A and B are shown apart, each in its own frame.
Chain A
Amino acid sequence: MQPTRCTLGLLTLALGLLAFALVLDERAALAGGLVLLFFLIYRGYLFLHASRQAAGSAGLERQAAPVILRQGATVAVTARARIRVPPGLTASLEDLPPAGSVVVQGNSWSSPLGPGMQIPELRYGISCLATGSLAFQGMAVRLGDPFFSLCIPIRGAPFTEPALQVDPAGRSPRARGAGGFGEQETGLLAPLKGFSVRSFRDYATGDDPRAIDWKLSAKHGRLFVREYAGLSGKHPLLVVDLPDSAVPCPPETRDSLAGTALDAARAMAREPGGCSLMVISGPNLLAFLPEERSVSRIERAIREYHTPVRAVQWFRSLDPGIAQVYRKRLEGHAADRSSYPAVLGGLYQAFLPAVQPARFEVQCARALGRSRSETLTVLSAGLGDASHLSSLAIQARRAGMESYLEIPAPAAGPSDLGRLAGLGFSSVGVIR
């Protein structure tokens, strides 16, 4: 129960009068202070009694469609609530969506309701980012009068139905590492052992008997032990490239991308180094969270820009460094001034001195330098122009990082994979 500003003022006045009465032995102040103090207590009891009656009369009929969906998909919810508001009170109702979901359409709360029987209807849409069986969290009844306000969450069985069954949208391939994100097996010896066998050698005293390969030993008549690949932790930087809201994107592609990004970010946040996350949409840096351990902050960053508007667009953008390389290659053809390579080289020569690095390139360079990451994993829908992806791959290479690109299966046609393979990433994977 929260007091209003007026109530706090009256309480302060009552206590001041009582203190004044005690110090100066003033009975008039005592009478005034006591009347005000007990007036507030009396109003509090009346408010609680009326609130109890109001909350007791509350009911809810909720319909959601679909109830079986993929992660990130939108559910249309229609909630018809009813409540009898006692005289003197105002009420507002809020339907509480399942944990791990976000309201993406409409409002899940009602406008203030006056006294009498009220039947507001709430229509809104939620996007479920968590997976599994998700139940609604109930309904919150907010009541208030000029002196107090109160929020009563009602979480009984009728208020939490129906349950939503959310299937994972996609999982990022983790074959590069033996465990979670950031672990990679190497051919070098390392204190941490992976799961792959890099070689066999003769048994030496002191070797772990569990490493003995009994099949090979039986075949050759002497003991062999397995040498496991070393495991090195490479702190990854996860880049989520969200598709432009102005460009048609299949819902399953968008859902798969968001679901995979959340799944990967949650897994990375549990790692010792946290999750370094960069949310972009084309050449627009939307959020950068270096070494973030708070799952809620990560989810908020991805949810907030679920359908971004790209303020800056690139089309076949050329990196200045790459252009310099082209220009040097074309210098060999300078003898014949009328040939196409010579003309093209002349064009490069003319505009290259004036070219400045784009803001996105500068931001990426700073982010890669700050995150202390050793690998770069880019999750992208792979739609439209891929200049920003190419720029990311170039920046990663300059920073000495391995870079991987992963795209959702619905967008991974043979031509798409071929186009994206030439961007400069170490590998291009498909999110299943």
Chain B
Amino acid sequence: MTGKRPLAIAMAAAAGAALAASWWSGIPAGGALVAAACASAFFLALRAPSPGFFLVCLSQPLAFLAWQAAPLLSLLVELLVLTAVLQAAGLLGERGLRMKWAAFTVPAAVLVAGPALSRHVLMPLGAALLAAGVLGAGMLLYAYRVSNPAGGEAP
């Protein structure tokens, strides 16, 4: 990940969203905590060898807090953080890449809608893990076909 400016913008936006969510959900102390978490995340993101991971990891309390206000807000926070990670990694530099990333918002919304519309986690978790298992197996098969092309020819 390169570039401090996208990270700073992302973390400022996350802190603002956290403050708004805490005010909205009636937990004023939570906003200060989340803002401190965002500042720590920004600091670690600049120093740590894998700042993308730290950024996502330390933004999770913000997503939790946002969930109290609205599940949709939690989804937006997660997508915002992941967008910052991708932007800093240079994976949103072209229009095609941005369109593909935008397409991910649809399944992400479905993923968040499942827990939001159910009262317990067991059913959506089971269904999501089943889908993830199928997709993961498909990805491994795809990886095998790409890395071991038939006859040694270029895939």
Contacts and interface: CB of A to CB of B under 8 A. Distances in A.
Interface string A234-257: 000000000000000000000000
A26 B57 contact: no
B63 interface: yes
A30 B127 CA distance: 12
A46 B103 CA distance: 12
B93 A87 contact: yes
Contacts of A155: 152
B112 A31 contact: yes
Interface in A27-44: 27-32, 34-39, 41-42, 44
B75 interface: yes
B111 interface: yes
Interface string A17-31: 110011001111111
Q: Give the size range of A's interface with the partner.
A: 35 or more
Contacts of A22: 121-122, 125
B16 to A, nearest CB: 19
Nearest to B52: A6
B50 A6 contact: yes
A94 to B, nearest CB: 15
A146 interface: yes
Interface stretch (B3-11, B33-41, B143-151): B143-151
Given A22-B122, A156-B151, 16 more contacts: A5-B50, A9-B57, A13-B57, A25-B121, A27-B115, A31-B75, A31-B78, A32-B60, A32-B64, A35-B112, A38-B107, A48-B146, A55-B154, A55-B155, A150-B146, A155-B152
A151 interface: yes
Contacts of A145: 89, 91
A39 B151 contact: no
B132 A88 contact: no
Nearest to A145: B91
B74 interface: yes
A17 B61 CA distance: 11
Contacts of A35: 75, 78-79, 82, 108, 111-112
B71 interface: yes
Contact of B56 (A10, A30, A58): A10
A154 B74 contact: no
B115 A154 contact: no
A1 interface: yes
Contacts of A25: 120-121
B47 interface: no
Contacts of B114: 34
B49 to A, nearest CB: 7
Given A13-B57, A30-B124, A32-B60, A87 B155 contact: no
Interface in B18-38: none
Contact of A34 (B71, B128, B151): B128
B90 to A, nearest CB: 7
12 contacts: A27-B121, A31-B115, A31-B116, A34-B111, A39-B82, A48-B139, A55-B155, A56-B154, A88-B90, A138-B152, A152-B149, A155-B152
Contact of B74 (A9, A32, A45, A153): A32
A48 B142 contact: yes
Given A37-B132, A150-B143, A28 B63 contact: yes
A165 to B, nearest CB: 22
A18 B125 contact: yes
Interface string A63-88: 00000000000000000000000011
A87 B96 contact: yes
Interface residues of B, number: 57
B132 A41 contact: yes
Nearest to A87: B94
A1 B147 contact: yes
B102 interface: no
B67 interface: yes
Interface in A128-179: 138, 145-146, 150-156, 159
A152 B111 CA distance: 33
Contacts of B124: 30, 34
B78 A32 contact: yes
Contacts of B94: 87
Contacts of A153: 147, 152
Contacts of A150: 143, 146-147
Contacts of A154: 149, 152-154
Contacts of A41: 132, 135-136, 139
A156 B152 contact: yes
A391 B16 CA distance: 82
Interface in B37-82: 49-50, 52-53, 56-57, 60, 63-64, 67-68, 71, 74-75, 78-79, 82
Give the top 6 A-B pairs by smallest Cβ distance, nearest first: A155-B152, A28-B67, A9-B53, A27-B115, A156-B153, A146-B89
Most chain B beta carbons < 10 A, residue from A26, A31, A150: A31
A45 B142 contact: yes
A145 to B, nearest CB: 7
A22 B57 CA distance: 19
B146 A152 contact: yes
A52 interface: yes
B130 interface: no
Nearest to A150: B147
